[in-house]
C-alpha cells in the first residue's frame, strides 16, 4: 500500500478495479454462485477435465460407483413407478387430447435422457396434468384435435421442442433466476386452480359426454356440462364413482399408514386392469362407457419430420412452449429440491434445466410430448427407496416392454377409469393448509396465490399465471423502489446499535443521527432514499431542538448497500449539500467494495474527506462524541475568556 493509501480510522481505500475485473466477478457470481470448480483449481489438467465432464454430465459421476446393492433398490422403485406411469401416461395424454399411445411413448425416451443428464436421485420423469391441459388449451385455439388430429399432434411436438429449447437455453446460460419469478405462492395457486379445472373437465369422461368445450375457464366448462346433459350416461357415472372411491380409499390408507404407500402407488394400474377386464367381458362400449381404443405395439417412431413452424399456426405452440417450459421447470426443480433436502443433499437447478430441456428436445423428435418431474411419481420413487437415477432407466425398460408386447391390452381401458385416476390425483394438488398458512403469515403472498387460483379458474391458465406473476413483480418493485431504512439507537449497557422501532429501549445519541440503509442505491429508489434521509433529519431536529441538542452529525450505515449507480451518487451529493447548509456533517460507515470504488472514482470521498469514513458505527459514534465534547469545551473557553 502506497503512503497515499494509508488507512484512516482503519478504513481501506483501494484503487478501483478495472471494468474487466468487475465484469468477470459479477458474471461469476451470477452464473456460478456455488463456485462448483473451486476444489479442482490446483488439480492436474486430466483430473480437471474429468471433474468438469462429471459436473455437466452426472451419469459419469454416479455410474462408475454403481453396484448391485444399489440396483436392488432402484429395480423395485423403477418397477413401482412404471406401474404408475402406464395409467398416468394414458390419462394425461387424453387430457391433452393426444392419442394415448403418445402418453406411453413419453415415459420411455425422456427418462433415459434424464438418467444421463439429471442431477436428482429421486425425480421420476413423466407427463403432468397441468402442462397437458395448457398444451391442449393453447393448440385448440388454432387447430381442433377432432378436425385435424395429425396437424394437432404435430403442433404438440413443436410446442414440446420449443419448451425444451427454452429450458436448455436457460440452463446453459445459467438463468435459473428467471424461474424464481414463479414464486411458491404463484405455484400453489396455479396448481390449485388447475386441479379444480381438471376435475371439472373430467366430468366429461365420468358422465360419458361426447361434446364438450375447448375453453378452460370454469364458466365454459360448467355450461358445456349442463348444456349437454342429454348425453349423460348413468352407467358411466356409477362405474366412475366406484373407481374414484377405490382410488381415494387407497390414498386414505397411505395417509394413515405411510409404509403402505405402495397400495396407493399400484391403485391406478389396478384400476386400469380391472376396468379393462370389465369393459372387455361386459362389452361396456355398447352400454355408453367409452374405451381408449386401438393401441398399436412398437416403440417410439421418429417424429422429427412432423415438427412444423408454419407461421399460420406457430403462435399456438410458441405460447404453449413458453408457458409449459416455465411451469415444468418450476414444478420439477421445486420437487427435486424438496426431496433432496429430506436427504440433506443438494441439486443444481441449472443442470436440471438442461436435463429437462434435452429430454424434451429428444422427446419431440421421438413421438413424446412434454415431460418433467411430477410430484406423485417422484414421491412414489422416493418412498420405494430409489438410490440413483437408475430407477428411471428401469422404468424406461418396463415401458419399452409394455410398448413392445402389452400395449394392445390397454385398448379396452374405459375412459371413465382414466377420468377417475386424474381426478384422484388432482385432489392432492389443492393444498388448503398451505393457502391457510399464507393467509395467516403473509397477506400479500395470499393475494398472489389467490390471483393465480381465481385467474386460472375464471379466465384462463395463462392469464391466471400472468396475473399472479405480475402481482409478485409489483411486490418486488415495491421492495426495490421503497427499500428498508431505519434509525439506529444504542442498546443500554452495550456498544451495539439497533433499529429503534424494534428495540424501544435504545438510548438516543445527542447531536448524532444514525441511519441504516438496507438496499442498493440506484435510480429506482434514490429519490425515495433522499426524501427518507431528509425526513429523518427533519424529525430528529424538531425533537432535538426542544432539548437544546441540535443535530451536528448524520451517520449513514452502508454495510447493507451492495451497489450504487451514478444517480445514487448524485443523490448522496445532493443530500450532503443540503446537510451542509444546515451545518450537519455526513459520515459514512462501512461502505462495501463496489460502493467504495464508485464513491472514489466519482470523487465523492474527496468531497466529504477520508476522515469522514469509518469501519463501524461504534467507531463513528465515539469519534463524533469526542468532537462534540471538544466543541463544547472550546465554546466554554471562549465564553470564559469573553
**Residue 1: what pLDDT?**
42
% of the chain surpassing 90 pLDDT: 36
Residue 40 CA to residue 48 CA, distance in Å, equals: 6
Please indicate whether residue 114 or residue 77 has the higher confidence score (pLDDT). Answer: 114
- On whether both 388 and 498 belong to a single domain, the answer is no
**Residue 174: what pLDDT?**
79
CATH number of the CATH domain containing 576: 3.30.750.24
Please indicate whether residue 216 or residue 240 has the higher confidence score (pLDDT). Answer: 240
**Residue 639: what pLDDT?**
45
Domain membership of residue 247 (yes or no) is: yes
- On whether both 414 and 312 belong to a single domain, the answer is yes
- pTM value is 0.76
Domain membership of residue 433 (yes or no) is: no
Total domains in the chain come to 2
Closest to 364 in 3D by CA, of 155, 172, 169: 155
Model confidence over 95-115: pLDDT tens digits? 889 999 999 999 999 999 999
- Give rounded-to-5 percent helix, strand, coil for the chain: 65, 5, 30
Tell me the mean pLDDT in the region 236-247.
Answer: 90
Lowest-confidence region among 310-324, 445-459, 541-555: 541-555
Confidence of residue 194 (pLDDT cuts 50, 70, 90): confident
Q: Which three cell numbers stand for residue 582?
A: 444546515
Strand order through the sheet with 512-517: 497-499, 485-490, 512-517, 553-557, 585-589, 613-614
| Residue 588 · residue 558 · CB < 8 Å | yes
Confidence of residue 484 (pLDDT cuts 50, 70, 90): confident
- On whether both 524 and 590 belong to a single domain, the answer is yes
Domain membership of residue 43 (yes or no) is: no
- On whether both 396 and 492 belong to a single domain, the answer is no
Domain membership of residue 54 (yes or no) is: no
- Give the β-pairing of 553-557 and 512-517: parallel
- Give the β-pairing of 585-589 and 553-557: parallel
- On whether both 398 and 520 belong to a single domain, the answer is no
**Residue 159: what pLDDT?**
96
Confidence of residue 529 (pLDDT cuts 50, 70, 90): very high
Based on C-alpha coordinates, what's the Rg of the chain? 32
Tell me the mean pLDDT in the region 208-234.
Answer: 81
Domain membership of residue 291 (yes or no) is: yes
| Residue 587 · residue 553 · CB < 8 Å | yes
**Residue 91: what pLDDT?**
86
Angle at 142 between CA 140 and CA 144, to 5 degrees: 45
- On whether both 383 and 504 belong to a single domain, the answer is no
The residue among 402, 428, 454 that closes a domain is 428
**Residue 384: what pLDDT?**
80
Please indicate whether residue 3 or residue 530 has the higher confidence score (pLDDT). Answer: 530
Model confidence over 290-326: pLDDT tens digits? 888 778 889 999 999 999 998 999 999 999 999 999 8
- On whether both 383 and 508 belong to a single domain, the answer is no
Domain membership of residue 57 (yes or no) is: no
Residue 422 CA to residue 88 CA, distance in Å, equals: 8
> Does residue 496 register a pLDDT over 50?
yes
Domain range enclosing 577: 486-634
Q: Across the strands, what pairs with 379? A: none
> Does residue 58 register a pLDDT over 50?
yes
Domain membership of residue 469 (yes or no) is: no
The residue among 384, 402, 428 that closes a domain is 428
**Residue 160: what pLDDT?**
97
- On whether both 372 and 498 belong to a single domain, the answer is no
Domain membership of residue 402 (yes or no) is: yes
Residue 403 CA to residue 108 CA, distance in Å, equals: 9
**Residue 4: what pLDDT?**
43
**Residue 2: what pLDDT?**
44
- On whether both 517 and 416 belong to a single domain, the answer is no
**Residue 640: what pLDDT?**
45
**Residue 548: what pLDDT?**
63
**Residue 225: what pLDDT?**
85
Amino acid at each position: 500500500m502506497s503512503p497515499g493509501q494509508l488507512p484512516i480510522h482503519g478504513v481501506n481505500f483501494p484503487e478501483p478495479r478495472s471494468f474487466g475485473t468487475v465484469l468477470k466477478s459479477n458474471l461469476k457470481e451470477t452464473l456460478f454462485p456455488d463456485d462448483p470448480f473451486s476444489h479442482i483449481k490446483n488439480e492436474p489438467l486430466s483430473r480437471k477435465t474429468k471433474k468438469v465432464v462429471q459436473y455437466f454430465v452426472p451419469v459419469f459421476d454416479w455410474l462408475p460407483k454403481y453396484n448391485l446393492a444399489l440396483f436392488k433398490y432402484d429395480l423395485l422403485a423403477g418397477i413401482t413407478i412404471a406401474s404408475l406411469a402406464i395409467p398416468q401416461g394414458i390419462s394425461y395424454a387424453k387430457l391433452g387430447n393426444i392419442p394415448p399411445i403418445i402418453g406411453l411413448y413419453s415415459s420411455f425416451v425422456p427418462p433415459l435422457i434424464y438418467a444421463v443428464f439429471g442431477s436428482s436421485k429421486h425425480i421420476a420423469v413423466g407427463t403432468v396434468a397441468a402442462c397437458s391441459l395448457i398444451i391442449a388449451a393453447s393448440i385448440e385455439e388454432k387447430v381442433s384435435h377432432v378436425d385435424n388430429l395429425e396437424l394437432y399432434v404435430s403442433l404438440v411436438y413443436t410446442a414440446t421442442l420449443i419448451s425444451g429449447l427454452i429450458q436448455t437455453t436457460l440452463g446453459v446460460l445459467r438463468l435459473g433466476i428467471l424461474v424464481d419469478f414463479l414464486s411458491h405462492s404463484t405455484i400453489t395457486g396455479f396448481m390449485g386452480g388447475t386441479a379444480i379445472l381438471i376435475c371439472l373437465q373430467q366430468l366429461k369422461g365420468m358422465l360419458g359426454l361426447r361434446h364438450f368445450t375447448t375453453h378452460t375457464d370454469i364458466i365454459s366448462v360448467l355450461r358445456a356440462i349442463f348444456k349437454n346433459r342429454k348425453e349423460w350416461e348413468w352407467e358411466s357415472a356409477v362405474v366412475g364413482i366406484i373407481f374414484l372411491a377405490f382410488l381415494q380409499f387407497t390414498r386414505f390408507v397411505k395417509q394413515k399408514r405411510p409404509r403402505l404407500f405402495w397400495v396407493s402407488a399400484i391403485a391406478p394400474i389396478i384400476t386400469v386392469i380391472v376396468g379393462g377386464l370389465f369393459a372387455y367381458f361386459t362389452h361396456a362400449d355398447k352400454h355408453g362407457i367409452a374405451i381408449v381404443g386401438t393401441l398399436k405395439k412398437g416403440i417410439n417412431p421418429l417424429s422429427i419430420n412432423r415438427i412444423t413452424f408454419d407461421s399460420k399456426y406457430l403462435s399456438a405452440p410458441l405460447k404453449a412452449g413458453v408457458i409449459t417450459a416455465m411451469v415444468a421447470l418450476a414444478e420439477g426443480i421445486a420437487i427435486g429440491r424438496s426431496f433432496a433436502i429430506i436427504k440433506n443433499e443438494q441439486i443444481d437447478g441449472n443442470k436440471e434445466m438442461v436435463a429437462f430441456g434435452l429430454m424434451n428436445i429428444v422427446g419431440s423428435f421421438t413421438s413424446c410430448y412434454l415431460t418433467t418431474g411430477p410430484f406423485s411419481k417422484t414421491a412414489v420413487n422416493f418412498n420405494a427407496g430409489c438410490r440413483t437415477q437408475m430407477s428411471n432407466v428401469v422404468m424406461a425398460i418396463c415401458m419399452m416392454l409394455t410398448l413392445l408386447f402389452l400395449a394392445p391390452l390397454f385398448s379396452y381401458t374405459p375412459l371413465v377409469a382414466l377420468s377417475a385416476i386424474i381426478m384422484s390425483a388432482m385432489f392432492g394438488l389443492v393444498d388448503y393448509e398451505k393457502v391457510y398458512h399464507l393467509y395467516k403469515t403473509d397477506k400479500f403472498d395470499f393475494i398472489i396465490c389467490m390471483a393465480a387460483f381465481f385467474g386460472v379458474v375464471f379466465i384462463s391458465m395463462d392469464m391466471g399465471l400472468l396475473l399472479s406473476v405480475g402481482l409478485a413483480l409489483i411486490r418486488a418493485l415495491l421492495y426495490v423502489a421503497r427499500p428498508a431504512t431505519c434509525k439506529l439507537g444504542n442498546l443500554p449497557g452495550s456498544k451495539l446499535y439497533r433499529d429503534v422501532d424494534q428495540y424501544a429501549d435504545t438510548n438516543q445519541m445527542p447531536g448524532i443521527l444514525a441511519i441504516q440503509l438496507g438496499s442498493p442505491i440506484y435510480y429506482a429508489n434514490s429519490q425515495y432514499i433522499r426524501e427518507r434521509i431528509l425526513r429523518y433529519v427533519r424529525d430528529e431536529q424538531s425533537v432535538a431542538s426542544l432539548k437544546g441538542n441540535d443535530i451536528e452529525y448524520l451517520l449513514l450505515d452502508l454495510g447493507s448497500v451492495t451497489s450504487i449507480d451514478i444517480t445514487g451518487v448524485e443523490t448522496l451529493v445532493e443530500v450532503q449539500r443540503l446537510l451542509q447548509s444546515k451545518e450537519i456533517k455526513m459520515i459514512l460507515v462501512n461502505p462495501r467494495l463496489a460502493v467504495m470504488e464508485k464513491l472514489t472514482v466519482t470523487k465523492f470521498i474527496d468531497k466529504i474527506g477520508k476522515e469522514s469514513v469509518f469501519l463501524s458505527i461504534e467507531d463513528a459514534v465515539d469519534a463524533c462524541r469526542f468532537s462534540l465534547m471538544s466543541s463544547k469545551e472550546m465554546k466554554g473557553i471562549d465564553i470564559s475568556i469573553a
